[in-house]
Amino acid sequence: MGFGGISIWQLLIILVIVVLLFGTKKLRNMGGDLGSAIKNFRQSVKDGETEGDTTAGKPGEPEEGKPLEDQGGRVFDSQATEEKPKEGERQS
């Protein structure tokens, strides 16, 4: 018994069919592409971890004294003020 109820002979037959359909050159190219994609993914994860180590505080929290930035790159530097009601208006 092989993997999940598939015997080794069935796996070999599937492998032969795949090689006949795609050819060894195309399979080699796909394997190389997959390998380079995995390598690039690991490198970017590694780069992301080193960048994350240099920032202070919890992820998603701004540092003290620095203005907040949204995803578009615009800087929001404002101060909240309380608006006084005009004469004749009721507060809710």
pLDDT in tens, 36-67: 999 999 999 999 888 766 555 555 555 566 65
Query: b/e per residue, 3-33, with b = 16+ CB within 10 A?
Result: eeeeeeeeeeeeeeeeeeeeeeeeeeeeeee
Range with the largest mean pLDDT of 25-29, 51-55, 63-67, 74-78:
25-29
The verdict on pTM exceeding 0.75 is: no
The C-alpha atoms of residue 23 and residue 4 are separated, in whole angstroms, by 27
